[in-house]
A and B are shown apart, each in its own frame.
Chain A
């Protein structure tokens, strides 16, 4: 591997901002008190947590008492969905989408095992650009619907759903609304004072330059709530467990920075993303964009290259220190390409050859140029190897009576 690292996998995780690390460090050394303690030594830690809570609330237009600290985005998602199901035990219907992150998708698919009774789950389809049909969404809601859980922005394609509108529709029907916003918070402006129908919102620290192991669940004041982790009185009895102080303080700083850098994210970073995307689509034939061109977070692009396979592309990129990810089957160890691309109806020839680049404010133009210099020849070399590229592989013999319905 090369010494150089060009990191464009920020939807997977981000670097902890140096400013964030700096404010975290004292809480690993001198300031080790327990915020629940009665003494001043612990009490000063409680003050730091309150300040962080305030900064996080500011970024999303919430009040600090609506912020509950959790261990990760997944815990936030589970807490929200179980809260709704406990609040309305007689309601047995959940509405979600086919492109959710596994944190929501797998939970909904397995929810019967945990609650011990049957639920109906409606997973809304998306179109070729990854967008939802709002009329279909509205029609899916019933009196039996306990909660709607819809991601704000998709991790693989960056496509943004019309969450404000969807939440308002749910509210008008008396249905709780949760959004997994881990890819949206810090990348696009969110104001829950305006988007006033969202009841639950999940945040993950490590997606916005804070550390791993810290998440937030926003719970709108007055929303029925049941704790997921039951224990001590922390978070006003809403989430047991001693606070992850350093990470909470770090997340506060990260949210403050994200607010300051929001404009840069949506101008400079977006321009870099667009340059990369256009450059790849222009210089590599038989390539295509996955996801809606404009309804997208500014840092993400998913591009597919026909007749080649994603893992092979990633490993070649890796030689040049370029970090990206793929929706190909082989990268995950599963045998089928990403459920997001399949739900969008991306043809197999492209789904297996998809590459996602996700940028951050730490990326610079030289890095985009570097990728544009390296990737076209990687694709060409792999295509020279591929029987589907100018080849005549019939794909109909041996173990290839393949008729995947996926």
Chain B
């Protein structure tokens, strides 16, 4: 049995704003019978451009009905621009949380809102423009990318929980895996060193240290006639040996700490400690 919050139960048992607005300003339809849930959302703007009324009709489970009901309550009184900022996480939060397997219900709410806004503006639905990844549930790469980025998803299973993608024939699992890697890599590149410490296997760590040395550190040292060799890695301790001009250089310890260690911390792991071993 699902562990629904009281707020989910309340919105499921006593759904607010059920129906269709006849002369709606915007109307969005998402989902389908085959998919197991579907939602029609209509809203009407007042003279000041605020949403004065919103109504929904939903086919689906308790959390789909509750998410739809919550959404209509949330957008009333907002301008279209304000309403557009509502994410699926906001809907889930409004309901006091949803079971992880049910997060796609809140995603459906948001997508219905986007479809209704696109209808109001007379533009195509942004999320439907991408490459169709999951044929079973009609999910595009744009929807998957956004879910991965916004909800920090790491596995195909999580993507399925949030977007339904991959929940059918499973043929698209490989593609979803690729998308997760892509999005997370982009996010990492953007966040650079701000990211939390990563968990690396020893082999990954050594490989990344070697890469960093080869790519950047050794060429820089060589310019001054010096060089560096990786001797060993033990946990966070990186043992190196200085070569060439570095051996006799008075500033070599500063180079080691201020340059080599700094670079390795940036590119590999921020807990690394570089130590010189004399060989």
CB within 8 Å of B: which residues of A? 307-312, 315-316, 319, 328-331, 333-337, 348-349, 352, 384-388, 391, 393-406
Contacts and interface: CB of A to CB of B under 8 A. Distances in A.
Interface in B84-108: 101-102, 107-108
Contacts of B64: 309, 330
B132 A399 contact: no
A315 B66 CA distance: 13
B38 to A, nearest CB: 6
Contacts of A386: 57-59
A386 B101 CA distance: 22
A210 B13 CA distance: 36
B181 interface: no
Contacts of A319: 13
A400 B65 contact: no
Nearest to B105: A330
A335 B36 contact: yes
5 contacts: A385-B15, A393-B38, A399-B164, A400-B38, A403-B34
A385 B62 CA distance: 12
Most buried by A among B60, B107, B127, B167: B60
Contact of B33 (A312, A352, A398): A352
A399 B33 contact: no
Given A335-B137, A404-B34, A406-B168, A398 B28 contact: yes
A333 B104 CA distance: 11
A402 B138 contact: yes
A311 B31 contact: no
Given A391-B57, A404-B34, 7 more contacts: A310-B61, A387-B40, A395-B34, A397-B125, A399-B139, A403-B135, A403-B136
B160 interface: yes
Contacts of B158: none
A312 B136 contact: no
A401 to B, nearest CB: 4
A397 B128 contact: yes
Contact of A400 (B13, B20, B35, B169): B35
Question: Is the contact region of chain B dominated by helix, strand, or loop, or is it mixed?
Answer: mixed
B242 to A, nearest CB: 52
Given A349-B33, A404-B136, A398 B128 contact: yes
B136 A406 contact: yes
B60 A335 contact: no
B221 interface: no
Given A309-B36, A336-B167, A337-B36, A387 B58 contact: yes
A349 B38 CA distance: 12
A80 B58 CA distance: 46
Q: Which 10 A-B pairs have the closest CB atoms?
A: A335-B167, A401-B138, A330-B61, A395-B32, A398-B30, A311-B61, A387-B57, A387-B40, A402-B138, A402-B32
Nearest to A400: B32
Interface string B121-143: 00001011000100111111001
A315 B12 contact: yes
A316 B136 CA distance: 29
B125 to A, nearest CB: 5
Given A334-B167, A399-B139, A388 B38 contact: yes
Most buried by B among A348, A394, A395, A400: A400
Contact of B125 (A334, A337, A398, A405): A398
Given A312-B12, A312-B60, A328-B61, A402 B37 contact: no
A384 B18 contact: yes
B107 to A, nearest CB: 8
A397 B112 CA distance: 9
Contact of B136 (A308, A311, A331, A402): A402
A183 B32 CA distance: 34
B126 to A, nearest CB: 10
A403 B143 CA distance: 17
Contacts of B136: 336, 402-406
B240 interface: no
Contacts of B29: 387, 393-398, 400
A390 to B, nearest CB: 10
Contacts of A406: 136, 168-169
B238 interface: no
Contact of A402 (B35, B40, B115): B35
